[in-house]
Every structure is written in C-alpha cells, then in structure tokens.
A and B are shown apart, each in its own frame.
Chain A
Amino acid sequence: QVQLVQSGAEVKKPGASVKVSCKVSGYTLTELSMHWVRQAPGKGLEWMGGFDPEDGETIYAQKFQGRVTMTEDTSTDTAYMELSSLRSEDTAVYYCAKSSGSYYDSFDYWGQGTLVTVSS
C-alpha cells in the first residue's frame, strides 16, 4: 500500500524559506517520479516541478525556477520541496504526488497536503 505522508502546517514571514517533506512508504523513492503541486486558497492546481528518473534530473516549472529546490533522501525515502523568498502569494496547500509511471504520466497517489501561510 503506497502512502505519502507530508509534514505539518507552516507559518512563515515574507522573505523566508519553507521546506516541506513527503515520506514515502510502500515504494522505494528511487523507483519513483515524485512531483510537487500547489493550490492557493480557492484556486486550481499548479504544478511546480518533478523528478525524471530516466535522466536523473529534476525539472522545475518556469515560474518557480530559481526559487524552488526539490531534493530526495533515499536513505529515508523522503522527498523535500524548499521554496525561498516567500511572498503572500505563496500561501497555498502544497502536495507531493507520485507519478504512476514515467515522468509524463498521471499522478496516482498524493500526499495529504501541507498548508503554508505567508504572513507578516
């Protein structure tokens, strides 16, 4: 049974950074293409980036390049997403999501979401 369990809610000040974790069970992280998707309050889903295991690269959405870093700790099967230079518009629920196959496939398992609030 695959499970993605994320870290708890965060409150950050503008300009700070946040690091959200996603613990995988039922799979080995190295077998997966893990992605991050966010959702601002009352808004739709927005893809932030993901890992392509075929070429070993992490690909970031252009909007977040330079501000987001996605990493993995294979010893604990935990993925991380760090977003820096936070602004109020970054207030959102952040999800990790596992691709069902390759990097280009659908997301068949999702974490429960982590609310990040950016407020002075």
Chain B
Amino acid sequence: SYELTQPLSVSVALGQTARITCGGNNIGSKNVHWYQQKPGQAPVLVIYRDSNRPSGIPERFSGSNSGNTATLTISRAQAGDEADYYCQVWDSSILFGGGTKLTVL
C-alpha cells in the first residue's frame, strides 16, 4: 500500500523560511493537498493540488511537487504558523501523511 512520509518536526526562526516535505513513491504524479491544524481546532486547507492556495491563505504559503517529494514552503514564518501540517493524496484510497509539527523559534 502507498505510504506518505513526513518529518516529525521542523523548526524555523521567526521571519525565515520553513520547508515541510512529504515523501512518497512517484508522488509527483499525484495531486497533493496540505492542511494546517492548530491545537484543539479542525484542520484548515492551505494548499490544494500541489501549489494552489485557497482564498484567505497568505501568499507566504506555497507548494511544489516533483519526483518522490512534495514540499510545503512557508516564507517569513510567523509565530501564528506554529501548527501541525499534514499532506494528503489519493492512491486507491485517501491517505494522510503522519504530520509535521512546525515550531517557530
């Protein structure tokens, strides 16, 4: 079965760029979606179909997908970006990555 691999945690200095990866076999051939989840809240869609931002999501959030790795990039990281981030794909079933905790230092 298909698996998605995310780092457990990523740290970024305030104002710098954070990159969160999502690995999977030939993931570049799939549509990847990204969600942000803050403690006690429901997930929020931040990137859909690899690189598209829903309305209301800051331009600081961007996505890319190629080969075996999809990447969520958060530019000019803010304290409010601290959250868990999940990637999601469809491969015979809907799958989520294990999630990455982003810490803004």
A residues adjacent to B (C-beta < 8 A):
35, 37, 44-47, 50, 61-62, 95, 97, 100, 104-108, 110-113
Contacting pair B49 A47 (CB below 8 A): no
Contacting pair A44 B97 (CB below 8 A): yes
Count contacts between A and B, CB distance < 8 Å. 57
B42-96 with Cβ < 8 A to chain A: 42-45, 48-49, 54, 84, 86, 88, 90, 93-96
Q: Do A112 and B42 form a contact, CB below 8 Å, given A44-B98, A45-B99, A106-B33?
A: yes
B residues adjacent to A (C-beta < 8 A):
31, 33, 35, 37, 42-45, 48-49, 54, 84, 86, 88, 90, 93-99
Contacting pair B42 A95 (CB below 8 A): yes
Contacts of B99 in A (CB 8 A): 44-45
Contacting pair B94 A35 (CB below 8 A): yes
Contacting pair A50 B33 (CB below 8 A): no
Contacts of A61 in B (CB 8 A): 93-94
Contacting pair A107 B49 (CB below 8 A): no
Smallest beta-carbon distance B94→chain A, Å: 4
Smallest beta-carbon distance A105→chain B, Å: 7
Q: How far is the CA of A79 from the CA of B12 in the complex (A)?
A: 40
Contacting pair A111 B42 (CB below 8 A): yes
Q: Do A106 and B97 form a contact, CB below 8 Å, given A111-B42, A112-B42?
A: no
Contacts of B31 in A (CB 8 A): 104-106
Out of B48, B86, B94, B96, which one reaches A108, CB within 8 Å? B48
**Minimal Cβ-Cβ distance residue in A for B37:** A45
Contacts of B96 in A (CB 8 A): 37, 44-47
